[in-house]
A and B are shown apart, each in its own frame.
Chain A
Amino acid sequence: MAAMRRRSRFFTLGWLWLALGTGYFVVPLLATLVFSLKTGRDTYGVTAYKEEFLDPAFRESLFFSLKLAVFTILIVMVLLIPTAYWVHLKLPRLRPIIEFLTILPFVIPPIVLVVGLLHGFRWTPTWFRGGYLILVVGYGVLAFPYVYRSLDAGLRAIDIHTLTEAAQSLGARWTTVLFRVILPNLRSAVLSAAFLTLALVMGEFTMGQLMQFPTFAVHIAYIGQVKATGAAALSLISFAITWIAMLGLLLLGLRVGGRAAQVGGTH
């Protein structure tokens, strides 16, 4: 009887904490939604959303940031997938050093990072250092910890040594091993890294602002200064884009991850 009462109390407390947690995240969103729908003192409508969708600056900044995200994802993947694979396979002693490096983007202030980038890439042609590619490099640095850690977790989950050696014994070259054996089994980790990078680039403000590029986050900040409801609408749009991306990851992850568990026994 006492045990039942204790279980029931635990159950109630569990729900209470869940409600509190949900409220903590949902209430600000609801408040933002309500505010973004305000058209007057007591009137509501979708004017702010309409205005934003009709504003060419919104579309331009959105597509610009999406373009940056795609380039960043490509660059970090090309650089980090072979690196992470090689470190796991041949240079495991380097892992602590790389893990330390992944912390650096969090501790170096963005202004230092921007100045360092502009200084470090001084020698490059003007089309590179003056164009958006320099921002892609900066975003690559910011995305490095998320991408590397995601790939690292993916590589830990599979026996890359055995898979690599099995493929080699069957005649595969390094590129074949990487593209046909390792990469398909890292799909979940690669997707996770890609969506984290997408979310990061779509929301990154400081670098875009300091380098004076019209990114989506810079546009939101600008709208926030001139149209309060527009900024709230944009924030929710940005939030929706991120969540759609995350949902995509979840669905793909479910498809891929379902294969991971061993169903059969040892017989």
Chain B
Amino acid sequence: MPYLELRNVTKRFGPVAALDDVTFELEQGEFFSLLGPSGCGKTTALRIVAGFETPDAGSVVVDGKDVTRTPPNRRDMGMVFQAYSLFPNMTARQNVEFGLRIRKRGSEDRSKRARELLDLVGLSQQEDRYPYQMSGGQQQRVALARALAIEPQVLLMDEPLSALDARVRVQLREEIRRIQTELGITALYVTHDQEEALSISDRVAVMSAGHAEQVAAPFHIYGEPATPFVAEFVGTMNRLESAVVDGATGRVRWGTTELAVDAAKGRSNGARVLVLVRPESVTLEPLPNGQGSADVLSGQIVTSVFLGPVTRVKVGTDDGGVLSADVPSSSAARFLVGSRVIARFSAEQARVLDLA
């Protein structure tokens, strides 16, 4: 039985539907992320779960109980915000104790719990510091400790790392995951950063224009995008608008080139499909004589961008298409801008989506 459910939730702001009949479920102890671009409705969904927004239709159910009309202060959900949200007039320890004070827990109990949580987030030495004396990363750790102090049913996080620098973001996201696993708490996380969502979540819902486009484990989101939007949004994807030429053997035509794509098997001949191939699945070979043929993709390198371990090479194909390929940076010298190459990918590594 799911622990947290959003059932057919719709929320409109004037003429704009921020959420349009959205449904998803979280199991107890699951780390679930809402991933999408700005304005896709992910924060609205989180705020509806928190009780800061009321849905126009649909319901929010936690542990079998409908909390759609329950005010936020009675929902028992800890929240970490995008903006720094520590109370400026309180020290780190007082901030962590705030929720416990409201629950009328004894002073000794409060102090003990606050110390435990500050220790958990690695800030036991900073307990008497005010927010203005702490860095952004430290403030977000205290905010996490404060949200966890009340032992919430669900931990909500609204882009908690977006104001931090890249190195701390990576470090803190790993800590968030470690703490969530350690405590076994159900967590709903909102981010626009795909790497963040894919690296720490058990499951991810990719959202677009108020819809959940795909809800799946990170591996499947990355490897088997269900819609063109997911394919486009998560990672870099070559999108080859093609036509099936032989559904029995799985052959498609992209431009003037015929390609073998296993996923196209069983589709009717002439059907328009979108063939999706990750750049890391594309291999390049130098084309010494400069001439291609009908069954291989050949073209000229137009850009080459160093990305650390790999170099992303963009190939302008002979029939006018563009294909990205990741080559190991150690062999990038073989693929200089302007040189002619053959591009290949194996038939089983391409995904196929039907085009309307």
Q: Which residues from chain A sit less than 8 Å from chain B, CB to CB?
A: 158-159, 162-163, 165-173, 176, 180-181, 184-185, 187, 259-267
Contact = CB atoms under 8 A, between A and B. Distances in A.
A261 B135 CA distance: 12
22 contacts: A159-B85, A165-B85, A166-B85, A168-B73, A169-B50, A169-B79, A170-B73, A170-B102, A170-B147, A171-B74, A176-B102, A181-B89, A184-B89, A185-B88, A185-B89, A261-B132, A263-B132, A263-B134, A265-B165, A266-B137, A266-B164, A267-B168
A181 B95 CA distance: 10
Contact of B138 (A166, A176, A259, A264): A264
A171 B102 contact: yes
A267 B135 contact: yes
A166 B86 CA distance: 8
B311 to A, nearest CB: 30
Contact of B72 (A163, A169, A181): A169
Given A165-B81, A264-B135, 18 more contacts: A158-B88, A159-B83, A162-B84, A163-B85, A166-B79, A169-B72, A170-B150, A171-B102, A172-B98, A180-B98, A259-B132, A264-B136, A264-B139, A266-B136, A267-B136, A267-B164, A267-B165, A267-B167
Interface string B149-182: 0100000100000011101100000000000000
B87 A167 contact: yes
Contacts of B328: none
Nearest to A181: B87
B136 A170 contact: no
Contact of B73 (A159, A171, A267): A171
Contacts of B3: none
Contacts of B71: 168
A260 B132 contact: yes
B135 A172 contact: no
B256 interface: no
Interface of B: 50-52, 71-79, 81, 83-89, 98-99, 102-103, 130, 132-139, 143, 146-147, 150, 156, 163-165, 167-168
B122 to A, nearest CB: 13
A162 B50 CA distance: 13
A171 B165 CA distance: 31
Contacts of A163: 85, 87
Contacts of B165: 265-267
A266 to B, nearest CB: 4
Contacts of B156: 169
Contacts of A170: 73, 78, 98-99, 102, 146-147, 150
Given A176-B102, A266-B163, A267-B168, A168 B72 contact: yes
A266 B165 CA distance: 6
B158 to A, nearest CB: 10
Contacts of B76: 171
A184 B73 CA distance: 20
A159 B86 CA distance: 10
A166 B73 CA distance: 10
Contacts of A162: 81, 83-85
A111 B86 CA distance: 49
A172 B138 CA distance: 24
A211 to B, nearest CB: 40
Contacts of B84: 159, 162
A224 B50 CA distance: 65
B121 to A, nearest CB: 15
A178 B75 CA distance: 20
A165 B130 contact: no
B346 to A, nearest CB: 43
A185 B130 CA distance: 13
